[in-house]
Amino acid sequence: MTEKETTPKTQASPMKDFIAGGFGGICTVLSGHPFDTIKVRLQTMPNPKPGQPPMYTGTVDCVMKTVKLEGVTGLYKGMGAPLVGVAPIFALSFMGFGLGKKLQQNHADEQLNNVQLGIAGGISGILTTVVMAPGERIKCLLQVQQASTGPAKYSGPVDVAKSLYREGGLKSIYKGTCATLLRDVPASAAYFGSYEIIQRSLVLKEAIDPS
């Protein structure tokens, strides 16, 4: 045997996975949130009255008007909720995938097929929705606040959560959970399923042709 074959594989500790996943998630939010803000504003802008132009004519116009009226920070409205929730979301995501695999295995070394991997990923999506649904609701309510339409209704994520709870309790905070499940369950199934399938194919290729 070569040295490469005899060297034992080491697994990263759950804490290292948690820290790495959380940091990666934070970077994702910081880089992607401005694009998400523009998307939400374009999706939720009111229909123009007859003879009047729309609030935004397109993506570039939305960016320019947002920055002009609210500054660059306007692109980051509502970022607090996903930024705080990203670490537990990633932790629940990977924990849910591991749980989904264990529920379908007869023993620890059993290799699941592609469909079972997708099911395990779907279970991951169910767990992350517990944190994702209220976070998405709070984020969107803050993102659609327009500086041009008068004083802001909410001062920040905590104020949104308190207001929603006063208005309708936890049911109000978790409004839209079904839609979040319809988005995240298949997305997680595709994400984790494809990751495992690609990883297996790469390992198999290396075993066949180590050069």
Q: What would the pLDDT profile of 158-167 be if each residue is shown by its tens digit? A: 899 999 999 9
pLDDT on residue 209: 65
Q: Provide the pLDDT for residue 210.
A: 64
Q: Compute the distance between CA of residue 101 and CA of residue 106 in angstroms, rounded to an integer.
A: 10
The rounded distance, in Å, linking the Cα atoms of 185 and 164 is: 25
**16 compared with 9, residue with greater pLDDT:** 16
What is the reported pLDDT for 14?
A: 55
**Local confidence band at 7 (pLDDT 50, 70, 90 cut-offs):** very low
Q: What band does 149 get if pLDDT is binned at 50, 70 and 90?
A: low
Sign, CA torsion 144/149/155/158: negative
Percent of the chain with pLDDT over 70: 85
Question: What's the CATH fold of domain 13-208?
Answer: Mitochondrial carrier fold (1.50.40)
pLDDT digits (tens, 9 = 90+) for 40-58: 999 988 888 888 899 999 9
* DSSP E strands, the chain: none
| C-beta neighbour count of 205 within 10 angstroms | 10
Tokens of 88: 């537990």
Q: Residue 179 contacts by C-beta under 8 Å, 6 or more apart in sequence?
A: none
By C-alpha distance, which of 188, 37, 207, 40 is closest to 126? 188
What integer pLDDT is reported at residue 17 of this predicted model? 62
Residue 140's identity, in one-letter code, is: C
At 48 the three-state DSSP class reads: coil
For the chain, domain boundaries: 13-208
Instruction: Read off the tokens for 100.
Output: 């989904």
Q: How many helices (H) and strands (E) does the chain have?
A: 7, 0
Structure token digits, residue 158:
């905590």
Where does residue 175 rank: exposed (0-12), middle (13-18), buried (19+ CB within 10 A)? middle
Mean pLDDT, all residues of the chain: 84
Q: What is the pLDDT of residue 84?
A: 79
Q: Is 80 helix (H, G, I), strand (E, B) or coil?
A: helix
* Residue range 82-116, pLDDT digits in tens: 887 777 787 788 888 888 888 998 887 888 999 99
